[in-house]
Structure 1
Amino acid sequence: MEFHEGDKVEVCSKQEGFLGSYYTATVVKKLDLNSFAVQYTNLVEEEDMSKLLIETVSADEVRPVPPRIKFGSGFSAFDKVDAFDNDGWWAGKVTGQRGPLYFVYFETTGDEIGYHVSRLRIHLDWANGKWVSSKNMVS
């Protein structure tokens, strides 16, 4: 997919401990056919925490921001979701619900954490230029 300066995107982390998490960013510049400079929305520079982090990323780490999907009455057990935590979106599966909290299991870490519904979204994969959901809600 073609991205241009100013486009809102999500960047997949390939760093150990962050594998599979996505962080919102804005394309600052297309550097060549296979890389972009992006400025993250929530990540800051280590040396100066008042500055948003700008980083060079490869094109295969960048995808459009997923569409917002209304999910009606909430999530069910085993639904694939993304949970907003540690400044990014992390993929997991719903394991249960208690009041306003949904419990999400993360295969990559083995953790199960409770999240308010406002911090969850339906998990979508970007494949062949379109969004794909296990619930077939997006085409």
Structure 2
Amino acid sequence: MSTPPRVYTPGNRVEVMGYEPGFIGSYYEATILTVLDDGRYEVIYKNLVEDEETKIPLKEYLRPQDLRPRPPPVREAIEFKLTQHVDVFINEGWWIGAVAAKDMDRSVYLVYFESTGKAAEYDSSLVRVHQELINGLWYRSDP
């Protein structure tokens, strides 16, 4: 049974799910601007721009199923475990990966991305716990 789409109002902070090839497994921070009569939402992105020169924030019209609320912040410090799913902030969005190695002396994680088959090192400040919204409740990833 699938969860019905959420209802958002202008000003709500959301994440837009990447669903096109090359963007699957990514989430981009945005804010709801307007609710359209056809049920879609106009959003403005926090980090994506229309043009690199003008830096005008990108706006887009999206369906409810392309959106989710922003995950709640995790207050306590977390040291991620090997194989744990995490989100890494790269390319202006959050990308889902798994911890492949860690070097806590340098505060660095090696994260593997299944969507690309590649791994790279990231400073721990760019890594957050991965959370999934299931039936209206947030669940953290476990190792």
TM-score, L = length of structure 2: 0.87
Equivalent residue in structure 1 for 2:130, among 111, 123, 126: 123
Corresponding residue of 2:71: 66
Instruction: Check if 1:113 corresponds to 2:137.
Output: no
User: Following TM superposition, by how much is the alpha carbon of 1:73 offset from its aligned partner in structure 2, in angstroms?
Assistant: 4.8
Corresponding residue of 1:39: 44
User: Following TM superposition, by how much is the alpha carbon of 1:71 offset from its aligned partner in structure 2, in angstroms?
Assistant: 4.7
User: Following TM superposition, by how much is the alpha carbon of 1:133 offset from its aligned partner in structure 2, in angstroms?
Assistant: 2.0
Counterpart of 1:118 in 2: which secondary structure? Answer: helix
Tell me: CA distance 1:39–1:122, structure 2 relative to 1, closer, same or farther (3 Å).
same
Counterpart of 2:65 in 1: which secondary structure? Answer: helix
Equivalent residue in structure 1 for 2:20, among 4, 15, 34: 15
Equivalent residue in structure 2 for 1:50, among 37, 52, 55: 55
**Structure 2 unaligned blocks of 5 or more:** 1-5
Tell me: CA distance 1:125–1:32, structure 2 relative to 1, closer, same or farther (3 Å).
farther
Corresponding residue of 2:108: 101
Corresponding residue of 1:4: 9
* Matches of 1:134 and 1:49, distance apart in 2: 38
Tell me: CA distance 1:97–1:67, structure 2 relative to 1, closer, same or farther (3 Å).
same
- How much is the aligned-residue C-alpha RMSD, in angstroms? 1.6
Tell me: CA distance 1:73–1:50, structure 2 relative to 1, closer, same or farther (3 Å).
closer
User: Following TM superposition, by how much is the alpha carbon of 1:13 offset from its aligned partner in structure 2, in angstroms?
Assistant: 1.2
Instruction: Check if 1:27 corresponds to 2:27.
Output: no
Counterpart of 1:60 in 2: which secondary structure? Answer: helix
Q: How many residues align?
A: 135
Deviations 1:42-75 (A, max 9, x none): 0001486421000001100111110111353511
User: Following TM superposition, by how much is the alpha carbon of 1:11 offset from its aligned partner in structure 2, in angstroms?
Assistant: 0.4
Corresponding residue of 2:3: none
* Matches of 1:24 and 1:59, distance apart in 2: 15
Instruction: Check if 1:132 corresponds to 2:113.
Output: no
The structure 1 segments of at least 4 consecutive aligned residues displaced by more than 6 Å after TM superposition are none
Tell me: CA distance 1:91–1:54, structure 2 relative to 1, closer, same or farther (3 Å).
same
